[in-house]
A = this chain, B = another copy of it.
Amino acid sequence: SDNDSKEHNHLISSDTLIINLDHGDPTVYESFWSKMGEKCTLVIKGNDLMSYMSDMSRLCWFLEPELEEAIKSLHRVVGNAVVEDRYVVVGTGSTQLYQAVLYALTAPGGGDPVKVVCAAPYYSQYQAETDLLCSGLFKWGGDASAYDKDGAYIEVVTSPNNPDGHIREAVVKSRRGEGKVLYDLAYYWPQYTPITRPADFDIMYFTFSKSTGHAGSRIGWALVKDEEIARKMTRFIELSSIGVSKDSQIRAAKIMGTICDNYQDFESGNSESFFEFAHQLMAKRWKSLREVVEGSEAFSLPKYPKEYCLFHGEYTEAYPAYAWLKSSEGIEDCEKYLREHCKIVGRSGRRFGADPSFVRVSMLSREEAFEQFLKRLLSIKGIKNQN
């Protein structure tokens, strides 16, 4: 029958086809949102949200007021960022906000482009994003740990770090206060890492993609202390895209609102709370992965300290969005090895300014892909002979 044949194809494909875990595509959370039903369903009428403008009296005039409220409520519920006395600037994902910050922290006519640095291993796209238009304002400067020039620079601190999941602080020692720091907190959510304090930096940003898993909506937001910086970021987004999709802003507000309602409603059980669900799911995946990796001679994984999480109210481990696998001595190119032996596509350590013995593998795939990943890792025997 037709069903049998589909089933058959399915089995063939799941054993032999390439599994792409290169991107951090957060489809792992689909099952949760599917269960939430109508509470999360967004309805937009044909005549809704047609204007460019949201609220011209606000600094970020294309930010929907209900998204700003939802963002602030979510941070208050989670306790991962200070929202008081902050401007909220919305962007088309945190990617657009990254460039908006670089624009806001630099100025034309200031001589050489300001160097943008980040401690290795750093997010693989920073360099290409920074140098996209060969800007005269700023230029990628590589590993922050190796940076020892004089003059202005911008340091990007990604915490928890992408790719390796570690909590980070700025590493460049500013000699004359000429350094500026921006904090990419995309993964500072309680499913990935213990929330040890509300982040309280001058410039920090988050994304809908990694918090709730809605990557397709392309919504990011920055919390910015200084009015002039927030104003320049807004100007950048105006000139790059005349604002940010209002359909997605309203959707983000709705999804965030649902999460907050769950936590504020004492009547509801914990079973429907997003961050508990996501935390347990990530914990389960990491437990399974660590078992497989410990039984293998081919790979090792970073260790993360247990810390007291203010959100969960207990000591928790980190369960990062990526596995930062390191291959053992016999395997020089971990990405190549995984691709050739397991048909798993990860992202090479080289792309992150690190050694090719590292590979970054997404932990955020759909369940079937994750199970295949484990199964294929498990199937590697006698590594040293094979290589």
**Residues of chain B with a CB closer than 8 A to A136's CB:** 133-136
> Residue on B with the closest CB to A137?
B134
* Docked-complex contact B47 and A33, CB < 8 angstroms: yes
Q: Which of A62-119 contact B (CB under 8 A)?
A: 91-93, 95-96, 99, 103, 108
**Chain A 25-53 interface mask (CB, 8 Å, partner B; 1/0):** 11101111110110111111111011111
How many A residues have CB within 8 A of the partner chain?
A: 65
Contact of A132 among B93, B125, B239 (CB under 8 A): B239
> What's the Cα separation between A215 and B247 when bound, in Å?
11
Q: Does A236 contact B (CB under 8 A)?
A: yes
Q: A216 in the interface, Cβ–Cβ < 8 Å?
A: yes
Report which of B92, B215, B240 forms a contact with A51, defined as CB distance below 8 A.
B215
Query: Is the beta-carbon distance between B34 and A241 smaller than 8 angstroms?
Result: no
In the complex, A163 has a CB within 8 A of chain B:
no
User: Which residues on B sit within 8 Å (CB–CB) of A51?
Assistant: 25, 27, 215-216
Q: Which of A29, A93, A136, A248 has the most CB of B within 10 A?
A: A248
User: Which of B50, B91, B133, B236 is in CB contact (< 8 Å) with A215?
Assistant: B50
Point out the residue from B23, B40, B43 that lies within 8 Å of A52, measured CB to CB: B23
Contacts A49-B217, A52-B215 given; does A92 touch B245 at CB 8 Å: yes
B50 pairs with A103, CB closer than 8 A: no
In the assembled complex, which residues on chain B have CB atoms less than 8 Å from the CB atom of A41? 43-46
Q: Is the CB of B244 within 8 A of A218?
A: yes
How far is A246 from B92 in the complex, measured between Cα atoms in Å?
11
Q: A43 touches which one: B31, B43, B213 (CB < 8 A)?
A: B43
Residues on the B chain within 8 Å of A92, using CB = 92, 218, 240-241, 244-245
**A97 to B, closest residue via Cβ:** B241
Give the contacting residue for A135; candidates B99, B134, B239; CB below 8 A.
Answer: B134
Q: Measured between C-beta atoms, what is the minimum distance from A6 to chain B in Å?
A: 19
**Are A52 and B25 neighbours in the complex by a CB distance under 8 Å?**
yes
* A44 and B251 within 8 A (CB): yes
- For A327, what are the chain B residues with a Cβ–Cβ distance below 8 Å? none
A40 in contact with B45 (CB, 8 Å): yes
List of B residues within 8 angstroms of A135 by Cβ: 133-136
Residues of B within 8 A of A218 (CB): 92, 241-246
Residues of chain B lying within 8 A (CB to CB) of residue A244: 92, 218, 245
A sample of 8 more A-B contacts (CB under 8 A), given A26-B50, A96-B240, A218-B245, is A27-B51, A92-B92, A92-B218, A108-B134, A133-B137, A135-B136, A218-B244, A247-B248
- Residues in A lying within 8 Å of B, measured CB to CB: 23, 25-27, 29-34, 36-37, 39-47, 49-53, 91-93, 95-96, 99, 103, 108, 125, 128-129, 132-137, 209, 213-219, 236, 239-248, 251, 255, 258
Q: Which 5 A-B pairs have the closest CB atoms?
A: A40-B46, A134-B136, A245-B245, A33-B46, A216-B246
